[in-house]
Amino acid sequence: MYSKQVLSAFLLLATSAFPYGSASSSLRASVASTRRKLADDSECTLLVAEYLQIPGETAAPDSTIDCGMDDGMIFSIKGTPAQMKSLKKMWKDGEITSGGSKLGLGANSFVDSNGVFLPPGLDIAKNVRKGPKQERRRLKAPLTGDKPILVVKVTDSGGLARAESPAQIGDDVFGTLGDPVNLKSQLFDCSHGQMNVVPGTIPNAITNEAAPGVIEVSINISLTTNDRYTVHNAVTAAVNAKLGTNLVNGWDQITEPYHQVMYVTEKCYTGCGWAAYAYINGWMSVYQAQYYKQVGVQVHELGHNFGLYHSGGLDGATYTDHTGMMGNPLYSDDIGKMCYNAAKNWAMPWYDDAKLVFNPVTEPSKTVNLVGIAEYNNRPNGERVVVKLETGLTDKFFVGFNRATGANAQNDEADNEVTIIKANSSGTSQSYLQAHLIQGESHTIANFAGTGQSLVITAESIIISTQPGVAVVKFELQGSPTASPTNAPTSSSTATPTKSPTVPPTTPPSPAPTSSPTSSPTAAPTQSPTPNPTVAETNAPTSSPTSSPTSSPTAAPSKSPTVPPTNPPSPAPTSSPSSSPTSSPTAAPTKTPTAAPTTASPTAFDQCSVHTNGGKCKKASGCSWNGVKCISDGAPTAPTSPVAAPSAEPPVGGPGPNECIASSLSCDLGTCCKGCQRNGRWANTCK
């Protein structure tokens, strides 16, 4: 089976990792006698327990995921942290249904008083039975018609038990002795007679029945030293023995002797903080101390058995919605006239002909008249009880009129107001109150259903002086919808948007080419081709060669050679160098055409460029510094080529290290970068 080391690890996990289900010292002493290996094909029904925390006491867990065995015993699940995380995630994602999903326990799983221990290598996702098989789950007890309930008064090995007699306990649940507000009366009134709680029939009643629907059992363990799992399993075993039948019959509630069973214990001593707990879609609820008799607690716990999760409030806490019983409910014996909130009312089958669902995206303006659930049977004009707003998303919105009268007369929050609740589509999930509105107030749901539009819900009028009281609610979708996205993104984007063209157009070409070269070379080839090629190329190279080659090399090689090679040099150099280098035009057009042929006389741009000196303009009048050289005020901005004016060092006052000159000149880096200064030297590519 298992080595001592593995067993020790499991026991450590059971006693330390699960603070609300840890084993007691007496159980640890008896582990060897209670542990049993499960068959390799064993499985259990996954059940979610919801705990009702007592305000002001040490917090109990909101919920746990437990294992229900075929004999009715319910254990905590002991697994590795990764297994427990996977289990919880599947539940949160809706892949596990409490009372409907099965977990294959795998080879070498075992169970003892501490819980069901999973083999460390068990893959949770692969062993949760879901899909078509899950749909053939147990038949859930109906929510209409007679509902037989068994109440069990528990006495522990030390004699601890509730002081009330079985008859008094039965009266608090069934009203058999005239209790004015109880579980039976409240569910009957909230459902308008569609659910009728009745005392369960007890086999061999003369011997076993302590009061109608109530039996007493004794357990051979102490309440003071055992956790809730050990206690409720001991009670289940005692009830099965007394009645001679199992409370669970293959987890098909419709064939079981009782739809729901309530365990009443004297008090909680280990792992407390809860008033009661119950299993979602299950048969069991457990009460400690006086809480069994409080109508709000009874209706809350049975709500869990009916499939309802908690109701949270405006603060986002788990059960602070006091507009319905699935929040933290009323704590009183005879003050309990309160039903469920709008979302939970949608989930119940009691008001089906008074429900309305519509999609504001397709019906952007709609007005609905609502009545409270207590006046469901008085709707002369077809008023609705609850409206569901379809969103096309997981979360839906439910709107109701929280009329404080009749079965809902002792409602605890937002009396006679319009309430807005968010929950899943069925309304059964953990829900959250979004707003409650008095007459004239509005609530806005921004970006409704992902449309980019706002849904405004307005309580236009609330009338409670008549029967029924009516709330007129208007729904209006406002704003323009968000544009649909393109079908597919573009394959690539440019590094930066291209710049706009220069404000003034280029000057028209001169009537004829210049008769002699300009006094200085042209600034540089244009950074992008012009819409049309140049009108004509220059006629010929300069009339005579330069006197001698330039005195020093250029700072960097030219970006690329011209399309044809330049003309051969003149037969002999001049006797002395010229005062400035010639522009050396090629015999054929350059690779990239210039914006226009050179003008008949030096341009203002060139006139200013010769005054570049040490990062500023030597000639100030009519010229300004553009970050690289002097240009004429108002002249088109054009970059200088690093080969235009040779220099032993990189230009001064231009771009900094690793900064592209094109960026300095407000060009597009992706298309017109003609030189970068990197680490103090010019480079002809930008990387």
Q: What is the DSSP string of 575-589?
A: SS--SS------SS-
Show Cβ contacts of residue 461 under 8 Å, excluding neighbours closer than 6 positions: 439, 470, 471, 472
Q: Give a yes or no: residue 534 inside a domain.
A: no
Q: Give a yes or no: residue 581 inside a domain.
A: no
Answer for the pair 401, 373: CB distance below 8 angstroms, yes or no.
no
Answer for the pair 46, 124: CB distance below 8 angstroms, yes or no.
no
Q: Same structural domain for residues 128 and 151? A: no
Confidence of residue 391 (pLDDT cuts 50, 70, 90): very high
pLDDT of 249 over the 60 cut: yes
- Check residue 255 and give its pLDDT: 59
pLDDT of 600 over the 80 cut: no
Q: What does the pLDDT look like over 434-480, one tens digit per residue?
A: 999 999 999 999 999 999 999 999 999 999 999 999 999 999 999 87
**Among residues 409, 417, 359, 364, which one has the least CA distance to residue 387?**
359
Q: Same structural domain for residues 307 and 385? A: no
Cα–Cα dist 592/583, whole Å:
16
Give the count of beta carbons closer than 10 Å to the beta carbon of residue 150. Answer: 22
- Check residue 632 and give its pLDDT: 67
Ramachandran angles phi, psi of 456, nearest 5°: -105, 120
Q: Same structural domain for residues 266 and 348? A: no
For 340, 391, 466, 504, the CA distances from 401, given in Å and listed in that order, are 12, 21, 14, 69
Q: Same structural domain for residues 155 and 265? A: yes
Q: Same structural domain for residues 125 and 176? A: no
Q: Same structural domain for residues 131 and 10? A: yes
Q: Same structural domain for residues 78 and 217? A: no
pTM for this prediction:
0.67
Q: Same structural domain for residues 131 and 155? A: no
Share of the chain above pLDDT 90, in %: 55
Q: Give a yes or no: residue 598 inside a domain.
A: no
- Check residue 426 and give its pLDDT: 92
**Among residues 237, 3, 1, which one has the least CA distance to residue 113?**
237
Last residue of a domain, one of 461, 478, 495: 478
Exposed/middle/buried for 525, CB within 10 Å: 0-12, 13-18, 19+?
Answer: buried
pLDDT of 641 over the 60 cut: no
Of 28-32, 160-164, 426-430, 583-587, which has the strongest mean pLDDT?
Answer: 160-164
Answer for the pair 687, 677: CB distance below 8 angstroms, yes or no.
no
Q: What does the pLDDT look like over 469-517, one tens digit per residue?
A: 999 999 999 987 766 555 555 454 445 544 544 444 444 444 444 444 4
Q: Same structural domain for residues 176 and 117? A: no
Q: Which residue is listed with tokens 């330049």? A: 566
Q: Give a yes or no: residue 493 inside a domain.
A: no
Total number of domains in the chain: 4
Q: Same structural domain for residues 172 and 291? A: yes
Structure tokens at 235: 């009670």
For 296, 406, 438, 604, the CA distances from 322, given in Å and listed in that order, are 11, 17, 16, 82
pLDDT of 559 over the 70 cut: no
Which helix or strand (DSSP H or E) is residue 370 part of?
strand 365-370
Confidence of residue 176 (pLDDT cuts 50, 70, 90): very high
Helices and strands (DSSP H and E) totals, the chain: 15, 31
Last residue of a domain, one of 478, 504, 534: 478
Pairing state of beta strands 260-265 and 145-155?
A: parallel
Cα–Cα dist 97/119, whole Å:
23
Give the count of beta carbons closer than 10 Å to the beta carbon of residue 194. Answer: 15
- Check residue 489 and give its pLDDT: 53
Helix axis angle for 183-190 and 166-174, nearest 10°, is 10
Q: Same structural domain for residues 152 and 108? A: no
**Among residues 395, 390, 342, 325, which one has the least CA distance to residue 364?**
390
Residue ranges of E strands in 69-144: 74-78, 102-104, 110-112, 115-117, 128-129
- Check residue 667 and give its pLDDT: 41
Q: Which phi-psi region, left, alpha or beta, contains residue 165 (left: φ > 0; alpha: ψ -120 to 50)?
A: beta
Q: Which residue is listed with tokens 């984007």? A: 493
Q: Same structural domain for residues 360 and 404? A: yes
DSSP assignment letter at 384: B
**Among residues 423, 413, 422, 424, which one has the least CA distance to residue 324?**
413
- What average pLDDT does range 622-640 have in this prediction? 58
pLDDT of 117 over the 80 cut: yes
Q: In whole angstroms, what separates CA 432 from the centre of its chain?
A: 15
Q: Give a yes or no: residue 612 inside a domain.
A: yes
Q: Give a yes or no: residue 537 inside a domain.
A: no
pLDDT of 541 over the 70 cut: no
pLDDT of 84 over the 90 cut: yes
Domain containing residue 156: 145-312
For 42, 73, 133, 346, the CA distances from 10, given in Å and listed in that order, are 19, 20, 31, 44
- Check residue 252 and give its pLDDT: 56
Lowest mean pLDDT among 344-348, 632-636, 660-664: 660-664
Cα–Cα dist 307/329, whole Å:
17
Last residue of a domain, one of 291, 312, 333: 312
CATH number at residue 225: 3.40.390
Q: Give a yes or no: residue 557 inside a domain.
A: no
For 294, 296, 561, the CA distances from 329, given in Å and listed in that order, are 9, 5, 87
Q: Give a yes or no: residue 601 inside a domain.
A: no
Q: Give the residue with greater pLDDT, 141 vs 44.
A: 44
- Check residue 149 and give its pLDDT: 97
- Check residue 233 and give its pLDDT: 97
